[in-house]
Chain A
Amino acid sequence: MTAADLAISDSPDGRRILSLSGRLDATTIRRVWAEARNAIAAAIGRPVVVDASKVDYCDGAGIALIVDLIAQRKPGDVQVANLAPRFETMLAQFDVREVERDQDPPPRRRGTVEELGAITAGVARDLYDQVAFIGESTAALGYALAHPASIRWRDVWRICERVGADALPIVALISFLLGVIIAFQSAVPMRRFGAEIFVADLIGLSMLRELAPLMTAILLAGRSGAAFAAEIGTMTVNQEVDALTTMGLDPVRFLVTPRIIAALLMTPLLTLFADLIGLAGGAITLASFSIPYVTFVHEVEGIVDYSDFMAGFVKSFVFAILIAGIGCLRGLQTTAGASAVGDAATRAVVSGIVLLVAVDGIFAVIYYVLDI
């Protein structure tokens, strides 16, 4: 079978003749297509005949070429002659004028002001959703605590294992390194003043009040918050959430409450663990600066009191609710499409971390005002 070719001629009566020949398919017609268009454009005011008598084969791409040539002029100006009946049948399936024009163009781009308005409305809607979700979750949690038998404890223990025990190694590693790095970075300059003993104070206060609860929460937001969003998001896409609703079961009670309870149980425990491991990291580092472990412990005991410990510990409960709540909310907000679950997980992590940092700031102000 021959490749696509085009011969251009003019008949005695002034018509431009385009003789197509060979095989017209997507891999052969590129050159022919451009030449044929140019030939029609050059024959200004003259009728054109596309002679297809030598076309051996013409698939969908070849038919597209013929359609395009017909559409170059007003109706009737370009005639197609001698197209084999089987290809003629394919051509007859299309209304040239309709196919040539894009009937479903992409929507026009919004102006800057409109775009700003849409973003603002989106943020406001998201805030509204978050507030409404907090209300729903609180009500569901209150009901669950008043009726412990209604809690799906098997789910709670399963989620506890994933949120708590499975996260232990990474929480331990990060908090240990945090203790080591802070101790080392502080001890080197402070040694010049003979003040390296006060590094123990620094580590004790910063780990217990701030770093252990915040770092643990950020780790859990990246790990468990994303997992909650992905898991519930997949259930939403698979209509499992719809199935719960149509069974008359509240998705918040079934899906959100166990996760919030599990996070409430595990986040403070992990925070305690991070406190200890962080202090251990600091103690080991300071030991290399000739500060014995006993001295380190005495120093920490002297500067850190019960209120410092509680300042960090209380925060971890609030962080737990934020992490689980935002993860579940993003999961329930999942829309359709291949990227929807990934988007839900990303949004859970981003908004989770933003909220954690914001709430941590609010706690700092409150503690300052209350002189804690």
Chain B
Amino acid sequence: MTAEPSTGDAAAPAIIQVRDLGVGYAGVPLLEHLEFDVRRGEIFVILGGSGSGKSTLLKAMIGLLEPLSGSVLIDGEDMVTASGDARRAILRKIGVMYQSGALFGSMTLIENVRLPLEEYTDLAASEIDLIARMKLWLVGLGLFTGHLPSEISGGMQKRAAIARAMALDPMILFLDEPSAGLDPITSAELDALIVRLSRNLGVTFVVVTHELASIFAIADRVIMLDRRTKGIAAEGDPRKLRDESKDPWVHQFFNREPEPLPA
């Protein structure tokens, strides 16, 4: 884990390297020949229309889906070929927040956050308890530690899922649609939390979202996936892409313009 705070600058070394990656289902590619780097400490956002393969790409990056080709290097180790202890070592460096939260329904919020700490550290129960409670305070759920996921709202479940993903202070946090379904205030709070963690702790974020407000609030860099070309349509600072891109689809996406009606 880095000792340096986030810079989000272009000089930072790559912590994730995606090389010639092809992903899809049943041998049918959704995306092909993807090449990009995620720099240490930056907030990297994956964009794209519905069905463009954002979540599929995320699954391949976190090792849940075997890619059709290529490699995903996380801190220099290939997630695709790693197995056993090597794979566990890579997984120890990442945290994932799933779109639905994916909290364990039979456990309270604090038990959900405690779980990775109990499995991966040798800290005493009271110490684990304090760390878990602090994670939940950090996401604004300090008064709900003893609640079950079914007893709190969807937005709160997402925040609790982020707390669980952060339990071991991973180098990289992958967030799948963190703002989806949240009210604007909660969504803005979540954005502020992401930026704060990135800037203060140097955590690298890979976020899948299409919430434009969130993208401009948090993203250092984005890639835009295009299902027509099965590749990357644009890459860079989202503000620059919005203002300067000549690509009609990129312009349409950032300006929320509908498809023109057939003549």
What is the interface of chain A, defined by CB distance below 8 A to chain B? 1, 23, 25-27, 29-30, 33-34, 56-57, 59-61, 63-65, 67-68, 86-87, 89-90, 93-94, 98-100, 102-107, 335-340
Contact B106 A337 (CB under 8 A): yes
With an 8 A cutoff between CB atoms, is B11 at the interface? no
Contact B166 A30 (CB under 8 A): no
A23 and B149 CA atoms in complex are apart in Å by 34
Given A60-B134, A94-B137, answer yes or no on A30-B121 (Cβ-Cβ < 8 Å).
yes
A64 and B128 CA atoms in complex are apart in Å by 9
What is the interface of chain B, defined by CB distance below 8 A to chain A? 1, 3, 5, 104-106, 108, 117, 120-124, 127, 129-131, 133-135, 137-138, 142-150, 166, 168-169, 196, 200-201
- B169: chain A residues within 8 A (beta carbon): 25-26, 59-61
Given A26-B121, A338-B105, A339-B105, answer yes or no on A94-B134 (Cβ-Cβ < 8 Å).
yes
- A100: chain B residues within 8 A (beta carbon): 130
- B149: chain A residues within 8 A (beta carbon): 337
Contact B123 A30 (CB under 8 A): yes
- A26: chain B residues within 8 A (beta carbon): 117, 120-121, 123, 131, 168-169
Contact A27 B121 (CB under 8 A): yes
**A35 CB, min distance to chain B CBs, angstroms:** 13
A67 and B138 CA atoms in complex are apart in Å by 13
Given contacts A99-B133, A336-B150, 13 further A-B contacts (CB under 8 A): A27-B121, A30-B123, A33-B127, A34-B124, A56-B3, A59-B169, A60-B166, A61-B121, A61-B123, A89-B196, A90-B201, A104-B143, A337-B150
Given A1-B3, A56-B3, A337-B105, answer yes or no on A106-B123 (Cβ-Cβ < 8 Å).
no
Q: Ordered nearest first, which 4 A-B pairs have the shortest CB separation?
A: A59-B169, A337-B105, A104-B146, A338-B105
Closest B residue to A61 using CB positions: B131
- A61: chain B residues within 8 A (beta carbon): 121, 123, 131, 169
Closest A residue to B117 using CB positions: A26
A127 and B167 CA atoms in complex are apart in Å by 45
Subset of 22 A-B contacts with CB under 8 Å = A26-B121, A26-B168, A34-B124, A57-B1, A57-B3, A60-B131, A60-B169, A61-B121, A61-B131, A64-B130, A64-B131, A65-B127, A67-B130, A86-B5, A89-B200, A90-B201, A98-B137, A103-B142, A103-B145, A104-B143, A106-B108, A337-B105
Given A57-B1, A68-B130, A99-B130, answer yes or no on A29-B200 (Cβ-Cβ < 8 Å).
no
